[in-house]
Amino acid sequence: MSATSPRRLHLNAFLMNAGHHDAAWRHPRTQPERVTDLRYFQELARTAERGRLDSIFFADGLALWGKVRHNALGGFEPLTLLSALASVTEHIGLIATVSTTFNEPFHTARKFASLDHISGGRAGWNIVTSGTVNEARNFGQDEHMEHGLRYERAREFVEVATRLWDSWEDDAIVLDREGGVYADTDKVREIGHRGEHFGVQGPLNVPRSPQGYPLLVQAGSSEDGKEFAAQYAEAVFTAQQTLADGQSFYKDLKSRLARYGRTEDDLRILPGICPVIGSTEHAARALEQELTDLQVPEYGLAQLSGMLGTDLTGLPLDGPLPELPAERDINGNKSRFTLVAELARRDGLTLRELIARLGGGRGHRVVAGTPEQIADQLEEWFTQGAADGFNIMAPHLPGGLEDFVDHVVPILQRRGLFRTEYTGRTLREHYGLPRPANRLAAQAAPVPQDH
């Protein structure tokens, strides 16, 4: 971004089967019968691209989430799905979640490099450490690795991945047919990594990709998560319920960047928002109520039990939350635990009320209103130091995304807050972030003899 161009917000469409509301699949405007239909996701991706959004994004878990009995869970794997969507889109960024706890850096670095080539520079990696013992049990482990250790592994994982992406210099392929030299092997390097968690010789078997590295995204908001984000992330998805919380998180995270030699402009912070859109405020609230009425209480209780690390089964829905453990005893998603526990305490919610409040965004902020009111909320957070953009979590799909693109985006564009055309070609360009220099090439560069 040049110093004189106006600050613009960034919008990511967080896609999820029938939508983010846990009862969306029961609503007549959704199409849960299409969750394994590629064309369904092609349509969603094209809708987001029509809205000139920066990116689409898929969360991921390595076990069947929650209770599939009562929600449209399961379906495509993100890297294969986004590769398929790359073929039928031109501009929009493609962000896949991949866990550092249950993968190998060689595979992960390679697949993202491949997706980045496939898409002409539109790949992003949401780096997660995975939060549940059910995932561990699909990978030969009875217990889930401890939170701090997971982040330690994640740091080493990202170090290895970035070295692999740097293992080919940008101009390593010389393609000298006459001389019989395809690649200048002085510019293709082993990385020789031997660390605590990984041993990786390299080089990668993929040439350096259009973006150098995929956009590095992170979504954990615990202390470990924030430190990790400050060191590596270029975009952060976060859940904040109030403007004050959003401002405090924003300030906190941005202030941590300097200790890693980074500036505040090196990282984009995108709080989640679940916009329940109606042509009038009344219509929006009616839609929200309609979705709440479709909730299956057993599902909500199971979800809540998971978030709070506490079995709530059988407790009276109209009673209060029981005594909860301390955050330090939670080994899953620590920041989500704290957010939900505080929400319940602050507003004195019963279990039923808490389930209703969490139904739309699983802890992310839900805003019901007209397109104008939604736009006002986004503008407020954006201009008041709480956001560089937003993670848009449509409560129901495809309609909720279409409503956002057709009715909210034009307002943001009229206010000069959002692009009217794509000006960049890569995801990094959409987010106004530079292409990383090749660190291995820089280290290996010969010292000039004359100066």
Residue set of the binding site for FMN: 60, 97, 147, 151, 221-222
Told to check if 67 binds its own copies by CB under 8 A, we report yes
Size of the site for its own copies (CB under 8 A): 76
Give the C-alpha separation, 149 to 446, whole Å. 38
Distance CA 221, CA 256 (A): 13
- Given the complex with its own copies, which of 121 and 400 has the nearer CB atom? 121
- Among candidates 94, 431, 145, 402, which has minimal Cα distance to 275? 402
CB 217 within 8 A of CB 270: no
Taking CB under 8 A as the rule, does residue 36 contact its own copies?
yes
Cα end-to-end distance, the chain, whole Å: 33
- Name residues contacting its own copies, limited to 93-112 (CB under 8 A): 102-104, 106-107, 110-111
Residues 399-418 that bind its own copies (CB under 8 A): none
201/289 with CB nearer its own copies: 201
Taking contact as CB under 8 A, which single stretch among the options 145-153, 202-210, 263-271, 369-377 is the one that binds its own copies?
A: 202-210
Sign of the torsion angle spanned by Cα atoms 136, 141, 145, 150 = negative
Residue 92 CB coordination number (10 Å) = 27
Nearest distance from C-beta of residue 120 to its own copies, angstroms = 8
**180 versus 448: smaller Cβ distance to its own copies:** 180
Instruction: Out of 44, 118, 128, 302, name the contact with its own copies by CB under 8 A.
Output: 118
Run of H or E including 67: none
Smaller CB separation from its own copies, 111 or 334: 111
| Stretch of 24-32, 224-232, 247-255, 431-439 contacting its own copies, by CB under 8 A | 24-32
Check if the beta carbon of residue 214 is closer than 8 Å to that of residue 197: no
Beta-bridged to residue 10, according to DSSP, are 389
64 binds its own copies (CB under 8 A): yes
Q: Minimum CB separation from its own copies for residue 175, in Å?
A: 6
Nearer of residues 210 and 278 to its own copies, judged by Cβ:
210
Which positions ≥6 away from 123 have C-beta within 8 Å?
82, 93, 94, 95, 96, 112, 115, 116, 209, 211, 214, 215, 427
Shortest Cβ 114–its own copies spacing (Å): 4
CB atoms within 10 A of CB 213: 26
Contact 412, 378 (CB under 8 A): yes
Of residues 129-188, which lie at the interface with its own copies (CB under 8 A)?
A: 134, 137-142, 168, 175, 177, 180-185, 188
Q: Write each residue from 283 to 322 as x if it is in contact with its own copies (CB under 8 A), else as -, in one continuous string.
A: -----------x-x--------------------------
Minimum distance of its own copies from residue 302's CB (angstroms): 12
